[in-house]
Structure 1
Amino acid sequence: MTGTSPPMDPSSSEATKDQLDLALVQGRAYGDAVEHMVTRVAHDGGSEQVGPYEVGYAVEDAEGMYHLEDGELVWHNPQQENTHLEIVVRDAADGRFVPCLDVRVELVSPSGERLGPERQELVWHPMMYHYGKNWTVPEDGEYTVRVHIDPPSFMRHDEINGRRFAEPVEVELTGVKIQRGAEPVEPPE
């Protein structure tokens, strides 16, 4: 995954060239954050274009997160989970993050065991939004990651460029290297 993306279709009924250029700047900045995650933080990562999306992944140790429970944020460390899988979905035209998606993932282990499909939830990360989940995987090695994305329900502005993201897509990422591990930490008081 890189900070560059193909240009957005210049035909637009709503956006000026300057506005489309600003979307490209946003996409490049998000791409830079993704590139940092993949090359400096994650164990493995990559991407593939499918339909109107660029679908990427990053693999890390399982990690703790806050969950909203009964109006309170509650920290949950990994228990048996030993891998954190991040799925990044970008607009292939401008590189921006695509929100409001239902992203489901199935993993196939090196020995052929199938895990999932499981829903990857939206994760707010201080550097980059992504769809993520802690997984419990049976072994280290190269996995197949099958990603299914349903079309988002959000409204689309622009009579020309707005006619995108209307069909479900699937992508199969092979050779995804998973090394099991967990980062249990205590949140600051």
Structure 2
Amino acid sequence: MRRPALALAATPLLALAACGGAEAGAEEHASPVPDGVVEQYGTLDDEVKERGGRTTAGEWTVSYIVEAAEPWFEGHGQHEKFREPASGETHHIEIIPTETSTGRIVPDVPVNVQVIDEKGAVVDEQRLNFYYSAFFHYANNFSVPADGSYTLRATLGAPTFLRHGEESEQPALTEGATVTFEDVELTREG
């Protein structure tokens, strides 16, 4: 699989856990970051290295992962139904928007992805859903007509959450971003 070269830096949470917590050299103190959070970001970095890429656009660091089409649970509360990939769905494309300054995965982001062929035609476009998994992410299944090299264009809207701060401050993440990942090899094997 041909992908752009990446330099994956450890997230601030992983760096904090690696140094034993907030106090440098305080080996007798356990990390204040829960093991599950450290594991989540480690798994995310491993999967991006193996099946994806990462880029930065201002306040946003955006990662993608491409896998074979996947099932999921739909519904809420006590009405969950297991949904297998629909006929023709070939790939599960994940987008993980993080805040560049903190490395935190950002919730409540409207995310749309276009899969663009070598001629510049959009072959599929989906609004992504927010998923609970080994790490939080946005994703959907896509139908890609043929194996080949594609461009992924991810458009992130401004998150819908409220922001704390002082009146004199500029609130964080008030603008979305559009990023592209070129030369992404998409094959029927995912």
- TM-score, normalized by length of structure 1? 0.75
Q: Is 2:81 the counterpart of 1:64? A: no
Unaligned runs of 5+ in 1: 8-17, 183-189
> CA–CA distance in 1 between the matches of 2:170 and 2:12?
17
Matching of residues 30-179 of structure 1 within 5 Å: 30-40=40-50, 44-68=51-75, 71-78=78-85, 79-125=87-133, 127-159=134-166, 163-179=171-187
Equivalents in 2 of 1:92, 1:114: separation in Å? 29
Alignment partners' CA distance in 2, 1:100 and 1:26: 21
Determine the C-alpha separation between the residues in 2 that align with 1:107 and 1:164: 29
Identity of aligned residues (%): 26
| 2: CA distance, partners of 1:50 / 1:96 | 15
What secondary structure, in the 3-state scheme, does the structure 1 residue paired with 2:80 have? strand
Contact 2:63–2:96 (8 Å) recurs in 1: yes
**Unmatched segments (≥5 aa) in structure 2:** 1-6, 14-21, 23-30
The two structures, once aligned, show a CA RMSD in angstroms of 3.0
Write out per-residue CA displacement over residues 117-169 of structure 1, whole angstroms, 9 at most, x where no aligned residue: 320110111x1011000000011122101111110121112338771111121
| C-alpha separation in 1, matches of 2:76 and 2:171 | 37
8 Å CA contact 1:31–1:95 kept in 2: the answer is no
Relative contact order (C-alpha < 8 Å, sep 6+): which is higher?
1
> Aligned residue pairs: how many?
166
CA distance in 2, matches of 1:6, 1:71: 36
Tell me which protein shows more strand as a share of its residues.
Answer: 1
SS at match of 1:63: coil
* CA apart distance, 1:27: 7.8
SS in 1 for 2:128: strand
Query: How far does residue 172 in structure 1 lie from its aligned partner after superposition?
Result: 1.3
Looking at structure 2, the residues matched to 91 and 145 of structure 1 have their Cα atoms a distance apart, in angstroms, of 20
What TM-score, normalized to structure 2? 0.75
Q: Could you tell me how far apart the structure 2 residues matched to 1:153 and 1:58 are?
A: 24
Q: Residue by residue, what CA displacement relative to the aligned partner does 1:2-40 show, whole Å, maximum 9, x if unpaired?
A: 452479xxxxxxxxxx6xx968x9986543221122245
Q: Is contact 1:123-1:130 (8 Å) kept?
A: yes
Residues 125 and 142 of structure 2 are in contact (CA less than 8 Å); yes or no, is this contact kept in structure 1?
no
Deviation sequence 1:28-66 (CA, Å, 0-9, x none): 6543221122245xxx30110012110010000001111
